[in-house]
Chain A
């Protein structure tokens, strides 16, 4: 064991949901993915089904090898070749973490503080995340315990306050272009649940990591996330209009700026800033932790802690080096690039490993 920390199923659900919610709270790339009209919420709702399908291979894989996470499984199955796969995953975690870190910096320089250098925000966030990662998974999980109710409550509060400006008619007609674009959208949305990889990486740290519990965690995560996702999209489309909503860089933030209740409750976009920074902090820390953990397992270290600072440095550098500009970042998280790319990691490689495990009859067979 590289770490003794234990987290409860509820904490796991909170971490996963917060982490998944960070992108919809800012970039919301799903708005311009098919069906790209007022039916996006429907695509988000239906996405729960393909999500449960694409997360099956990684879950089945790690459940065959109790006490092992994804990277250990691939080492076990493929030896040296497995290390290459492990490195790919470390790269992927680094990339997700760096994207998110950069997005946090871009948000800060776009909205509240445009003249502050980007690297200032990246460094601050990375240093705080480094301390969270050093303290281990258990500490992050407890943070999620505190943060989740704040984020959930704030999202609901914003939506309730802005409902005055909502035009429900903007959501009609349902399925204007038929069912197929909606299903396409459901599929592209489902490929954004990279968090399944986080779950299969930290599975050995879960209390009561029985298969039933693990499936339940995933089911709850998808259900809770889908509920919030649909609420966010419904509010954004009903208030900003389906065509105009796509033009906003940070739709949910712009929505928050429209709140004005009796000249008393207004200018509360600070709320959005607050909940989003908390969320993105959890997400950056989580992928930072996964990258450090995965790397240490590949290098055969006893603990991942010596890697925290080097990986953090890598994360900051990557977040600057990967994207030239905000549009470049948005291009990568658009469905055309993101869906196939993420699917290779979420389903493709785990499916391959699962087949290998079945053929070579390794691991514990699941009923």
Chain B
């Protein structure tokens, strides 16, 4: 009878001991000791110093409206800027001014300043990739101007600017006029052979006294890791067509036939195929695009469902698509010799043997690639009215 009692005593003693230890460990972090980083921006400073700006959520201020108390008028985020010799150094220097320890797993967006991006972006990303807190799912954006200004801007509908940025990037599907690149995708493009990266551009718009707003405008194009220049929205959509990333959007074409005015065609789905070819030492790339859409609006009178007008609309749509594709090819392929389309990868996949000789002077070869564009653009539906009669 003695033995079980001893065992019971030991078990109880052990439980007490465990309960002492189990409440915490070395890495214990309570929410009220943390500053949750929502977005971060990196700029270069004078003398090669790095300046990091973070936007930190203030949990007390994020309350649903109508609950009274906090929230009203107070910004829901705090912005801190810190400098250092390296990114990590700058991040650690936040400890000198932010009362709480920065907590990175919820960081949604990384904004890099334009000037800094021109000097090379890879060294700036290493810390974010290497540290165990930030996630590679965050969006990479390049600021027109200083990243600091973007991070300190206020969103209109969202209390936290980082949320605004994320929602804007996610809404790119509606227009296909901007891109959305996550950090791991950016890294993949940087590391791949026969591929150059690109990222979303973001800027502050609104002139004069009024409040400035965030807007996704252009696409930043890189040569290796250096910012080369920007694609406007048509060129960006050209890029998306080539990559097969167009999900939706509006294509505006002039009205066909005798009618005057404009017609909006909504893109419903699209896909693309890259077909590289090497013939007698000449490189050709055939881009095959299949697109399907609806007649979304006619700001012109007439019955466009008539077969000949319907086909003419489809033809006009294909022309616009080709124009957008040619525009981006002219800029990126011919002027800058950057391979944001992954042409090099396509050649490597089909011609691995020839690629071994091509890869070292791919930059010189890229502008010589003859690109052929084949577009099948279809119109399917008309919406709830079939034609629009002129007022009598």
Decide whether A and B assemble into one complex.
yes
| B72 lies within 8 A of chain A by Cβ | no
Q: Is the CB of A260 within 8 A of B132?
A: no
Cβ contacts A223-250/B at 8 Å (1 or 0 each)? 0000000000000000011011001000
Q: Tell me, rounded to whole Å, the shortest Cβ–Cβ distance linking A131 to chain B.
A: 13
Cβ contacts B78-111/A at 8 Å (1 or 0 each)? 0000000000000000000000000001000000
| B137 lies within 8 A of chain A by Cβ | yes
| A361 lies within 8 A of chain B by Cβ | no
| A4 lies within 8 A of chain B by Cβ | no
A-B contact count (CB 8 A): 50
Q: Is the CB of A260 within 8 A of B137?
A: yes
Query: Considering residues B105, B192, B349, which has the most beta carbons from chain A within 10 angstroms of its beta carbon?
Result: B349
For chain A, residues 100 to 152, give those with C-beta under 8 angstroms from any C-beta of chain B: 110-117, 120
**Distance in angstroms between the alpha carbons of A80 and B26 in the assembled complex:** 50
Which residues on the B side are within 8 Å of A267 (C-beta)? Answer: 105
**Distance in angstroms between the alpha carbons of A260 and B184 in the assembled complex:** 13
For chain A, residues 142 to 201, give those with C-beta under 8 angstroms from any C-beta of chain B: 169, 172-173, 176-177
Q: Is the CB of A254 within 8 A of B352?
A: no
Q: Is the CB of A243 within 8 A of B191?
A: yes
| B348 lies within 8 A of chain A by Cβ | yes
Q: Tell me, rounded to whole Å, the shortest Cβ–Cβ distance linking B17 to chain A.
A: 14
Query: Considering residues A112, A120, A241, which has the most beta carbons from chain B within 10 angstroms of its beta carbon?
Result: A241
For chain A, residues 271 to 315, give those with C-beta under 8 angstroms from any C-beta of chain B: none
Which residues on the A side are within 8 Å of B317 (C-beta)? Answer: none
| B23 lies within 8 A of chain A by Cβ | no
Q: Is the CB of B188 within 8 A of A173?
A: no
Q: Is the CB of A243 within 8 A of B105?
A: no
Q: Tell me, rounded to whole Å, the shortest Cβ–Cβ distance linking B113 to chain A.
A: 24
**Distance in angstroms between the alpha carbons of A164 and B188 in the assembled complex:** 16
Query: DSSP class of A's interface residues: helix, strand, loop or mixed?
Result: loop
| B144 lies within 8 A of chain A by Cβ | no
Residue of A nearest to B189 (CB): A241
| B361 lies within 8 A of chain A by Cβ | no
Contact of A241 among B136, B137, B191 (CB under 8 A): B191
| B135 lies within 8 A of chain A by Cβ | yes
Q: Looking at chain A, what size class is its interface with the partner chain?
A: 20 to 34
Contact of B25 among A110, A116, A172, A257 (CB under 8 A): A116
| A329 lies within 8 A of chain B by Cβ | no
Q: Is the CB of A244 within 8 A of B352?
A: no
Please judge, given known A-B contacts A243-B191, A247-B191, whether A173 and B349 are in contact too, CB under 8 Å.
yes
Which residues on the B side are within 8 Å of A110 (C-beta)? Answer: 132
Please judge, given known A-B contacts A110-B132, A173-B349, A257-B135, whether A241 and B26 are in contact too, CB under 8 Å.
no
Q: Is the CB of A117 within 8 A of B136?
A: no
Contact of A115 among B26, B187, B191 (CB under 8 A): B26
Which residues on the A side are within 8 Å of B27 (C-beta)? Answer: 112-116
Q: Is the CB of A241 within 8 A of B188?
A: yes
Residues of A within 8 A of B (CB): 110-117, 120, 169, 172-173, 176-177, 240-241, 243-244, 247, 254, 257-258, 260, 266-267
Question: What 15 new A-B contacts, CB under 8 Å, besides A244-B188, A257-B137?
Answer: A112-B132, A113-B25, A114-B27, A115-B26, A116-B25, A116-B26, A177-B352, A241-B191, A241-B192, A243-B192, A244-B187, A254-B136, A258-B136, A258-B184, A266-B137
Residues of B within 8 A of A (CB): 25-27, 105, 132, 135-137, 184, 187-188, 191-193, 345, 348-350, 352
5 pairs of A and B residues whose beta carbons are closest in the complex:
A116-B26, A241-B188, A243-B191, A113-B27, A244-B191
